[in-house]
């Protein structure tokens, strides 16, 4: 064998955001050697972009004194359109206060009430103001806190390493291979267990609040390794992204009292959710905005106004300084004086790698997943704002505790299977780079994103989805002829993008197949040809597997127990 760089750890964590870092702290503190692999510096993980806050029933806000974890669980399950697994929701909501206080003790600087307690604001779909926040930069503050903790523990981080395959031997996952972007060299990682914490797949859409790195790498790795993907048709569109750039405008802006206005100056949410208005769940508000635009009551046919002007200069500067900076820099609008132009954009992936309550990946031994790349199903068909940051820290820790139990019986395997996989990946990359003629990478990428937003967006119907699936399959065929014009090894981002695109095309098909098969409307999945929710036939999780090169769709029951499904009203 040629000289292959191989690294050995008890646990390898793929992803350097909140989920991965929280898990790394737990495993390192137990005395096991663990490493984090991230395709960017951890502080550039998409967790840094979360603005509005993290939910916990602390009861600190006026009007929230009687909040409980059970009320949090009910709001979450109702918001999910009853597709969330209720045991997973109970675990998350019960652990939420501990998780937030733990972050505070680690050093996260939360905004405060006048008497010094952690401040909380209202968020959509919540019966109480339970969203803890750090101005409008909550994810930024938490990520920096956890990264500081990881640095303090000297946890090794392989930054700008792109994982390109999972390695199997003896019926379980025993490691992975990764491209060192700076050198073009493929490394092998041998480990007792592998933990996926790679985030969502939003960049398969052209209009997205997601970072460019959100290409679903963990989900596509798991699918190709034999794991099922769960509920992938449920894609959340955030109601308020900045028109023209689709930068996120936090739900916290509406939580502080911002209102939505159409081109007639009408506060139109009175029509769609008279009880909750702008603080209805995201799927309800996003559909309302899109309907206003589609029916000609948008500005220039593409956006509505989010009006914060009446909140006053002091409140905006104190609680929404980041939003003010963003709108001023990218549109020239100061929200103190003028309303913000907003439109819905893809924001979050409710679906992901199918895992058990303890984070074990279904049917793949030695593999675990948590956070947005996984689907333990605390969000079901629609995630409530403030629950994503909570999921990362609760399940990052919880799944790490599962790993600690499992590691005691694991023997780290020989390096040979990983070395073989490295050589296989080297041959694959060489073949991709040697291609002299073909289609430009960007063309397929752009067509994929437009296809997904056009055919699998906020509103869906069979005819357009069939057309979209046909287009996705065509793009998959064309990918085999893609050309990478840059042939160098050092920081070859075109090669990385080609590897990302390969996985994105696979995930796009899973989204399409799941959406076509689910003949109902539930949460974020709104079909104009099947407008009603169908609990008789579709109170089930969609499970997609790759079988002999084709996507197979199966279903599994939802875990009920605490609350019986009923019609959502806001």
**Neighbour-count burial of 172, counting CB atoms closer than 10 A to its CB (0-12 exposed, 13-18 middle, 19+ buried):** middle
Instruction: Report the alpha-carbon distance of residue 409 to residue 477 in Å, rounded.
Output: 43
**Alpha carbon separation from 421 to 167, 185, 187, 189, 426 (Å, rounded):** 7, 13, 10, 10, 9
Token readout for 406 is 């499992």
Q: What is the 3 state secondary structure string of 71-90? A: HHHHHHHHHCCCCCCHHHHH
Token readout for 494 is 């075109």
Q: Tell me which residue has tokens 């002829």.
A: 481
**Alpha carbon separation from 291 to 27, 277, 298 (Å, rounded):** 48, 15, 9
Token readout for 53 is 């806050």
Strand partners, 180: 161, 185
Contacts of 355 (CB under 8 A, 6+ apart): 361, 362, 368, 369, 370, 374, 375, 376, 399
Token readout for 159 is 């930054």
Using an 8 Å Cβ cutoff, are 122 and 279 in contact? yes
Is the C-alpha dihedral spanning 306, 314, 333, 310 positive or negative? positive
Can 112 be counted among the known catalytic residues? Answer: no
Token readout for 551 is 């996507």
Give the number of C-alpha atoms closer than 13 A to the C-alpha of residue 278, restricted to the C-beta side: 22
Instruction: Report the alpha-carbon distance of residue 356 to residue 366 in Å, rounded.
Output: 13
Q: What is the DSSP letter of 349?
A: E
DSSP 218-239: HHHHHHHTTPPEESTT-EEEEE
Q: What is the DSSP letter of 38?
A: E
Q: Please give the helix or strand (H or E) that residue 69 lies within, else none.
A: helix 69-79
Q: Tell me which residue has tokens 């996985």.
A: 503
Catalytic residue among 130, 137, 282, 319: 282
Strand partners, 349: 235
Token readout for 153 is 């523990």
Instruction: Report the alpha-carbon distance of residue 503 to residue 498 in Å, rounded.
Output: 9
**Alpha carbon separation from 175 to 9, 199, 255, 419 (Å, rounded):** 9, 19, 44, 10
Q: So which residues are the catalytic ones? A: 282
């Amino acid at each position: 064998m040629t000289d292959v760089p191989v690294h050995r750890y008890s646990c390898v964590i793929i992803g350097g955001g909140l989920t991965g870092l929280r898990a790394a702290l737990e495993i390192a503190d137990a005395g096991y050697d663990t490493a984090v692999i991230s395709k960017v510096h951890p502080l550039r993980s998409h967790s840094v972009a979360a603005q509005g806050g993290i939910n916990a029933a602390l009861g600190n806000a006026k009007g929230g004194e009687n909040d409980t974890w059970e009320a949090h669980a009910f709001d979450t399950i109702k918001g999910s359109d009853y597709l969330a697994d209720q045991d997973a929701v109970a675990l998350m909501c019960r652990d939420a206060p501990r998780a937030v206080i733990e972050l505070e003790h680690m050093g996260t600087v939360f905004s405060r009430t006048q008497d010094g307690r952690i401040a909380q604001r209202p968020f959509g779909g919540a019966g109480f103001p339970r969203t803890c926040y750090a101005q409008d930069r909550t994810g930024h503050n938490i990520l920096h806190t956890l990264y500081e903790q990881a640095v303090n523990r000297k946890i090794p981080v392989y930054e700008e390493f792109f994982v390109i395959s999972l390695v199997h031997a003896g019926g379980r996952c025993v490691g992975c291979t990764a491209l060192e972007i700076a050198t073009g060299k493929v490394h092998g990682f041998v480990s007792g267990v592998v933990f996926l914490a790679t985030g969502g797949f939003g960049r398969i859409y052209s209009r997205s609040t997601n970072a460019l790195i959100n290409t679903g790498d963990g989900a596509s790795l798991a699918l190709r390794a034999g794991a099922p993907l769960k509920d992938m048709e449920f894609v959340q569109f955030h109601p308020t992204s900045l028109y023209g750039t689709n930068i996120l405008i936090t739900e916290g802006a509406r939580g502080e009292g911002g209102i939505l206005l159409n081109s007639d100056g009408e506060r139109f949410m009175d029509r769609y959710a008279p009880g909750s208005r702008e603080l209805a769940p995201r799927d309800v508000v996003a559909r309302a905005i899109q309907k206003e635009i589609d029916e000609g009551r948008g500005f220039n046919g593409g956006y509505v106004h989010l009006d914060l002007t009446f909140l006053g200069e002091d409140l905006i500067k104190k609680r929404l300084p980041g939003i003010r900076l963003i709108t001023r820099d990218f549109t020239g609008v100061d929200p103190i004086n003028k309303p913000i132009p907003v439109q819905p954009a893809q924001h979050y992936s409710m679906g992901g790698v199918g895992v058990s309550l303890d984070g074990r990946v279904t049917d793949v031994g030695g593999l675990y997943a948590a956070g947005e790349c996984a689907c333990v199903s605390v969000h079901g068909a629609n995630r409530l704002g403030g629950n994503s940051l909570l999921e990362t820290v609760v399940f990052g820790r919880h799944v790490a505790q599962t790993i600690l139990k499992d590691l005691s019986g694991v023997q780290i395997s020989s390096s040979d299977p990983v070395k073989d996989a490295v050589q296989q990946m080297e041959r694959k990359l060489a073949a991709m780079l040697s291609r002299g003629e073909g289609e430009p990478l960007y063309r397929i990428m752009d067509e994929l994103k437009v296809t997904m937003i056009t055919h699998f967006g906020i509103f869906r119907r069979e005819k357009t989805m069939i057309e979209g699936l046909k287009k996705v399959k065509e793009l998959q065929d064309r990918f085999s002829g893609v050309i990478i014009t840059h042939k160098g090894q050092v920081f070859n981002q075109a090669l990385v993008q080609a590897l990302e695109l390969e996985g994105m095309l696979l995930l796009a098909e899973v989204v399409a197949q799941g959406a076509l098969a689910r003949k109902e409307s539930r949460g974020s999945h709104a079909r104009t040809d099947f407008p009603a929710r169908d609990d008789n036939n579709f109170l089930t999780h969609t499970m997609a597997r790759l079988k002999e090169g084709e996507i197979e769709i199966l279903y599994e029951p939802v875990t009920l127990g605490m609350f019986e499904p009923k019609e959502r009203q806001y």
